[in-house]
Amino acid sequence: MSGDGVSPLEVTLETVRATASNYNIPPDVKYAYGTAGFRCKADILPPAAYRMGLLAALRAKSVKATIGVMVTASHNPPEDNGLKVVEPQGEMLLPRWEHYSTQLSNTDSASLVEVLQDFSDEAEVTLTSSRGKLVVGRDTRESGPDIVAAVTAGAENLQCKVHNIGVCTTPQLHWIVKQTNISKPNTLQDYYRTFADSFIHLYGKDDVKHSIKVDCANGVGAIALRTIAPLLSDHIDITICNDGSTGRLNENCGADFVKLMQNAPRGVNYVENEHCYTIDGDADRSLFFYSQDHKFYMLDGDKIATLFAWFLNSLMQEAELNLSLGVVQTAYANGSSTSYLYSKGIPVVCVPTGVKHLHKRAEDFDVGVYFEANGHGTVLFSDTAMEMINIRSVRETRKTQKSAVTRLLAFSKLINTAVGDAVTNILAIETILKLCKLSPASWNEMYADLPYRQLKINIRDRDIIKTTDAERKISSPEGMQEKVDALVSDFSSARCFVRPSGTENCVRVHAECATQREADTLAMSVGSMVFDFTEALYSRL
Ligand code: G16
């Protein structure tokens, strides 16, 4: 009790009531925690951001640890923004807390205190406890500072200490949260030094210095690469393209654009066989591209997953390490990549879209490689795997085995295991290509992609479509899946699925066929069927 008889809890709740009145939810706005958190037009985000600050503080108190909030809308246009909440080990927010997030973000200011108290009871958290901290970061969007301020206000209202690390990539924020919780070096400088050292150690030095070009989508990845490039300059030259000085974020460039258009980004002048990369707006996805005989080739997340799995599998076999290795993909994975992995005896699992699903499933393997076709992904090493690799790297005396286990150890240090990281994945890919003397073409020829087409269809309410079977089938509205099946049956070897996006206001249609023309035709006919089907439903409402 304070001197005037008011308890600390009442003081806290009164502070929330007063601040909440500055963050009223605009009429007709409904927030939802989607594939990667909240994402919408930036001007309507502050009320959700304030509530997420409250929720993040609750979560930090409940786990008595540091958690993170990243302010970014990644591949979305510059006028959007979003929020991703990061768990103590760098993972995405737990499903139960996603549910709290959606509920709290839609609670009007007048009821906020009541709902907050209900959550704290349910999660067995003392609202006034001072345990737990929050790290907040943001990408380069103009709206970022206001949204960070709203998150900070919410967290501080619940007396949660907030450390604002400013502009950073999403994977840097995940890494910093994880490092903080395991009491390891945890600043942005530590991030650059750690991964630069790991790269230099494994990559080594050649007489001829290699060079790469990276399309940074006019986003925060340019800052990260510009900072790490000088540390690597004795070993590799990195040319940064689309650094944000002239172009707009994600406009005609970036990993999402390149994957969707199956074409090179604007603003990158590259020559035959040059190693080129494209990353997205918050630098958690990367794709490789090159040209040969004037033809453009893109090596997507599936190609990166197979490269990593093939490399790690070979090393594990050479080292005679008895550990499980598996690959986690989503429905977007090219059928050829799955067949290739099976042909190499590597188990493959399919889960719904979203890093949170892939990351969780990859933990079931000793060495779990997970990638979405769009370039999101990383490798996870279990405690058992790391223990075995560490012991063997010291005790192994046989030359071949020692060399393999030493490379495995070094590779594990080059990977950001907190989450997929465009910067560290680029360094890992370059390392594998060099160590294994692989040209872009020889990597690409590991398997031939089946032609595919992906479309975005705008319908009135994407939530009308529900899916099942790792998003490969539509469960509702009734009858829609049968229509997809009928259209697919017109082609001899085809696959197609439809799912609502969790980050954009659209439905995604993905078709894979024996020829590009067929894939284009199938995607178009399924897309127009989806549009007509839903329009007919609305007209009956
Ligand atoms: C986010 C998620 C990814 C997902 C992508 C697209 O990426 O982290 O797992 O693949 O959205 O999701 P959807 O198809 O549901 O829109 P990012 O890079 O935008 O944060």
Question: Using a 6 Å cutoff on CB, does residue 504 contact ligand 1?
Answer: yes
Question: Using a 6 Å cutoff on CB, does residue 420 contact ligand 1?
Answer: no
Ligand 1 atom with least separation from CA of 354: 9
Q: Residue 540's pLDDT is what?
A: 83
Would you say residue 2 has pLDDT above 60? no
Closest-CA residue, ligand 1 atom 14, reads: 501
Q: What is the mean pLDDT of the segment spanning 246-273?
A: 96
Q: Residue 205's pLDDT is what?
A: 86
Instruction: Quote the ligand 1 centre to 523 CA distance (angstroms).
Output: 20
Would you say residue 137 has pLDDT above 60? yes
- Mutation choice for ligand 1 from 80, 278, 350, 353, CB with most ligand atoms inside 8 A: 353
Would you say residue 507 has pLDDT above 80? yes
Question: Using a 6 Å cutoff on CB, does residue 218 contact ligand 1?
Answer: no
Ligand 1 atom with least separation from CA of 504: 16
Q: What is the mean pLDDT of the segment spanning 184-213?
A: 95
Instruction: Quote the ligand 1 centre to 36 CA distance (angstroms).
Output: 6
User: Which residues are identified as catalytic?
Assistant: 74
Dist CA 315 CA 406 (whole Å): 9
Query: So what CATH class is 452-540?
Result: alpha beta
Instruction: Quote the ligand 1 centre to 73 CA distance (angstroms).
Output: 10
- pTM value is 0.96
CB 91, CB 356: distance < 8 Å: yes
CA dist list (Å): 119 to 96, 155, 237: 11, 15, 51
For 214, phi then psi, to 5°, come to: -130, 120
Question: Using a 6 Å cutoff on CB, does residue 372 contact ligand 1?
Answer: yes
Q: What is the mean pLDDT of the segment spanning 82-90?
A: 96
Instruction: Quote the ligand 1 centre to 440 CA distance (angstroms).
Output: 26
Using 50, 70 and 90 to split pLDDT, how confident is the model at 3? low
192 vs 35: which has the higher pLDDT: 192
Q: Residue 5's pLDDT is what?
A: 80
Question: Using a 6 Å cutoff on CB, does residue 87 contact ligand 1?
Answer: no
- Amino acid identity at 268: V
Which of 5-9, 428-432, 521-525 is the least confident region? 5-9
Instruction: Quote the ligand 1 centre to 75 CA distance (angstroms).
Output: 8
Q: What is the mean pLDDT of the segment spanning 450-456?
A: 97
Query: So what CATH class is 8-167?
Result: alpha beta
Query: So what CATH class is 189-299?
Result: alpha beta
Instruction: Quote the ligand 1 centre to 500 CA distance (angstroms).
Output: 11
Dist CA 62 CA 67 (whole Å): 11
Question: Using a 6 Å cutoff on CB, does residue 77 contact ligand 1?
Answer: no
Q: What is the mean pLDDT of the segment spanning 463-487?
A: 96
Ligand 1 atom with least separation from CA of 76: 19
**DSSP secondary structure of 320-364:** T----EEEEE-TTS-HHHHHHHHHTT--EEE--SSHHHHHHHHTT
Ligand 1 atom with least separation from CA of 72: 20
Question: Using a 6 Å cutoff on CB, does residue 502 contact ligand 1?
Answer: yes
Would you say residue 202 has pLDDT above 70? yes
CB 279, CB 221: distance < 8 Å: yes
Q: What is the mean pLDDT of the segment spanning 180-190?
A: 97
Instruction: Quote the ligand 1 centre to 501 CA distance (angstroms).
Output: 8
For 356, phi then psi, to 5°, come to: -60, -40
Residues of the chain within CATH 3.30.310.50 domain(s) are 452-540
Dist CA 300 CA 377 (whole Å): 11
Summarize pLDDT for 274-333 with one digit per residue, the tens. Answer: 999 999 999 999 999 999 999 999 999 999 999 999 999 999 999 999 999 999 999 999
Which of 205-219, 361-375, 407-421 is the least confident region? 205-219
Q: Residue 1's pLDDT is what?
A: 54
Dist CA 113 CA 107 (whole Å): 10
Q: What is the mean pLDDT of the segment spanning 80-108?
A: 95
Residues of the chain within CATH 3.40.120.10 domain(s) are 8-167, 301-444
Using 50, 70 and 90 to split pLDDT, how confident is the model at 165? very high
Q: What is the mean pLDDT of the segment spanning 160-174?
A: 98
**End-to-end CA separation in angstroms for the chain:** 56
Q: Residue 206's pLDDT is what?
A: 81
Question: How much is the mean pLDDT over the chain?
Answer: 96
Question: Using a 6 Å cutoff on CB, does residue 80 contact ligand 1?
Answer: no
Would you say residue 17 has pLDDT above 90? yes
Q: Which residues of 310-332 are buried (b: 16+ CB within 10 A; e: fewer)?
A: bbbbebbebbebebebbbbbbbb
Ligand 1 atom with least separation from CA of 330: 10
Summarize pLDDT for 333-386 with one digit per residue, the tens. Answer: 999 999 999 999 999 999 999 999 999 999 999 999 999 999 999 999 999 999
Q: What is the mean pLDDT of the segment spanning 240-262?
A: 97
* Strand 133-138 relative to strand 367-371, pairing: unpaired
Q: Residue 118's pLDDT is what?
A: 94
Q: Residue 413's pLDDT is what?
A: 98
- Give helix 399-414 / helix 422-435 axis angle, nearest 10°: 160
Share of the chain above pLDDT 70, in %: 99
Question: Using a 6 Å cutoff on CB, does residue 508 contact ligand 1?
Answer: yes
- The reply to whether CATH 3.40.190.80 applies to domain 301-444 is no
Dist CA 389 CA 381 (whole Å): 10
